[in-house]
Amino acid sequence: MKIPLKFKKNKEFFKKIPRIFKKHIFLSFLIPFLLTLILGGFIFYQYSFLAEKLEPQIIEKPLQFEEALYQEISEEWQIRQKRFEEAEFKKYPDLFRLPVPTPEETSPEITEELTE
């Protein structure tokens, strides 16, 4: 497969880039540093100086308390509180122990085997 001439030139140029940076180490540091300073200054200007000049928006309509919505939320909280309090009295099975059968649950044959 024949490689085009332009690709070979580009490939050689990209191989030379690290060598160019080594020869001009000060410029290879200075250019990105200045670009970073300019970008940082622009961002600082946008979010600091311009933000101070903007006037805050005044809300024309004052906030109103919605009684119906408050009542709905209050009722839901009461229902949840009731469920939470009922959960304290509920007995949950111990998942790490086998259930021990009570005498009513066992058949007479099993109780005879257990007593022998």
Residue 85: inside a domain: no
Residue 17: inside a domain: yes
Residue 63: inside a domain: no
The ranges of the chain with pLDDT < 70 are: 1-5, 7, 100-116
Number of domains in the chain: 1
Distance CA 30, CA 100 (A): 80
- Flag whether the pTM goes above 0.85: no
Residue 23: inside a domain: yes
Residue 87: inside a domain: no
Distance CA 42, CA 69 (A): 46
pLDDT of residue 96: 84
The domain of 41 spans: 5-53
pLDDT of residue 80: 94
Is the C-alpha dihedral spanning 30, 35, 38, 39 positive or negative?
negative
